[in-house]
Chains A and B, each alone.
Chain A
């Protein structure tokens, strides 16, 4: 067979990114070898894009030995869905999408049920359904320890009970780069190859590896409305404006991508990767600032994770 070389002519990665890449590839291979039914959670965002790129590297020249699952809440940015389908086609990925049928039937929306209930039903419960249906015993995710305080205590192999619950007080010790992948039937592991990456590492890696991203990460004039201190994209008919809300066109971009009603844009003129990175280097707020679900209650992320969220 022919072995394709993707990196010819590309300058070598700096040792910092190379070390992070090596670690992630090691984790991918270890999980793929030790578990019977691994799966990768693909959320279309920048971290998922890096995760997918690393997976392709880990198993080259072979194909990915596992499918990808996307939890589609029905409220993602349309550009995300188009991007997802294009990526899946280009790499010949086995992509499974899942939407919580109960939530659909009951017409659960971020507006009708509030962000906490909505996230639980359309994301956490949907994720558990998808994992149960596939009988997956390991799920890769793109979470990083620098994202949020409770994530800082997460293992690279995060052990979950048959109910997908995380018990932060009872985690397996993880020494050296030796991972314990032994589980009882019904139990599972969430594996996080990007644990030791920071936001700026992600961006520098995207730049060095020329990884394609959803255009929403780059500034352009978009219709937005200000709500609860967040700039919400106002391009979807399902967004009902409140009496005193005005739609304006502004130069904005997104630092993270989720469901559009819950994800705030930032005012920015960064239209290229270089400009995004330059902007980040002087940023004074964290990327999760734009995420409503982190703020809906104190210790919010930990609570969601205990309940089975990623």
Chain B
């Protein structure tokens, strides 16, 4: 040891283990749940969020007074203030009566606290939804009980699923205006669950609500809807699960190297996957140098473990060369490294994403040059992928990434922290796209193949294959699917071969 702790007693882990506690317990035994609300302009989204804030008492009297002062004549029929004014904080929004930008709202119940990403329904919704969804654990999708599931609903669900959200709540709003019709509610729920399933989302709760009257939001709507025995919106939110980031091995993207004095050299960062304890063998990437963990230092304690989400300072047992942007990872569960990757992208800026353009790519603490080539674009109306060489603003597409130096990623599906990146325009320095890694491409341009033992072969008629390859699922797993057509010579028997 070239440093020692001042305290004479052995080190203990602090709250690391607490992160695994059941979120269902009373008290604030959980991280804040982050969710996003999506709906069209007239679905009553502002009213819904306003109602959540109002009924959980997140709106204070002076804020309500300001509302009342400014909403003269805009009170709703129940004599409540116009909730939209509460939410639209910018002058331009108030003047134009529209929501411009993602806003974050905070409220809590006795059981849990919540962060809502409130995004506009109409203008540039893809860009704003993607931003709000990137950190969300759950999506609340609103539909009008009289209109049912619209094309817009499908679009929102598609984006939410693509950004990695695996829990949906369908709020069938304005149920009061639909005469509290149970059959109608059931039909809408069925339609939506079908869409969710096609996107790979199995956890769906449909709730009949009236945001205006506050039914089944925080308070139950039994009086008007005795036929509905399911949970209220808040009950679902209280019990929702959160991503644990435990599906990959230990990951520490190094933010900075701390050398405060003789003999101490620590690597500071936030654990982006798995867990770590002293004695663990790790590899420093991209160099590939191996070492063992000597200590996990925090301000409070020298700890004996750290888990996903912990901001720590890691000390290794030997002098190795580690710099900001490097990744320290579990030696037996390494992330992918390489110069060619396949990804999905959401274009966020007016210029779109052009083929062959070089961008800065930032992932975790690592920033490097990348050349981007769009290969297909998602048609949100049909949910299919079409060939494309350019992504306009708000476009979603698959791209090929080519790096000048080694890049380090997990797939977004296995790790949201180490599988996500943004693109920065080298001229304007603006953030122009958000991306999610699907897999690595081999330098010859062909997708890597899995070991034979993990592979299954599926034979499909050509027309089905074509349709299959346009699905979201196929695009998301592009790195794992190998397609061969007769005469291609790719496989022994000339069948199409899809490995899962």
Contacts and interface: CB of A to CB of B under 8 A. Distances in A.
- The judgment on whether A and B are partners is yes
Given A57-B299, A173-B127, A286-B63, A148 B89 contact: yes
A5 B5 contact: yes
Most buried by A among B28, B70, B101: B101
Given A22-B309, A152-B103, A6 B62 contact: no
Interface in B1-17: 3-7, 9, 14-15
B417 interface: yes
B311 A22 contact: yes
A65 B309 CA distance: 23
B31 A29 contact: no
Contacts of B309: 19, 22
Given A3-B6, A169-B92, A196-B104, A178 B363 contact: yes
B343 to A, nearest CB: 13
A281 to B, nearest CB: 10
A143 to B, nearest CB: 13
Contact of B31 (A4, A16, A145, A183): A16
B299 A184 contact: no
B91 A299 contact: yes
Nearest to A298: B70
A107 interface: no
State which size class the interface on B falls in: 35 or more
Contacts of B491: none
Contact of A175 (B6, B87, B115, B134): B134
Given A178-B420, A183-B429, A63 B260 contact: yes
State which size class the interface on A falls in: 35 or more
A215 interface: no
A14 B111 CA distance: 13
A30 B27 CA distance: 32
A116 B429 CA distance: 34
A10 B360 CA distance: 43
B101 A283 contact: no
Interface in A1-31: 1-8, 10, 12-22, 25-26, 29-30
B100 A30 contact: no
17 contacts: A1-B264, A2-B5, A5-B5, A7-B299, A8-B301, A14-B18, A22-B309, A22-B311, A33-B365, A149-B87, A149-B88, A171-B101, A173-B431, A175-B422, A182-B429, A196-B32, A284-B60
Top 4 closest A-B pairs, CB basis? A7-B300, A149-B89, A62-B260, A12-B15
Interface of B: 3-7, 9, 14-15, 18-19, 21, 27-32, 60-63, 70, 86-92, 94, 100-106, 108, 113, 115, 127, 130-131, 134-135, 255-256, 258-264, 266, 268-270, 297-302, 309-311, 313, 324, 348, 360, 362-365, 416-417, 420-422, 424, 429-431, 434
Given A3-B297, A169-B100, A286-B62, 18 more contacts: A3-B302, A8-B301, A15-B15, A16-B28, A16-B30, A18-B19, A29-B256, A58-B268, A59-B258, A60-B297, A146-B106, A149-B88, A153-B90, A173-B431, A178-B421, A288-B62, A289-B62, A302-B89
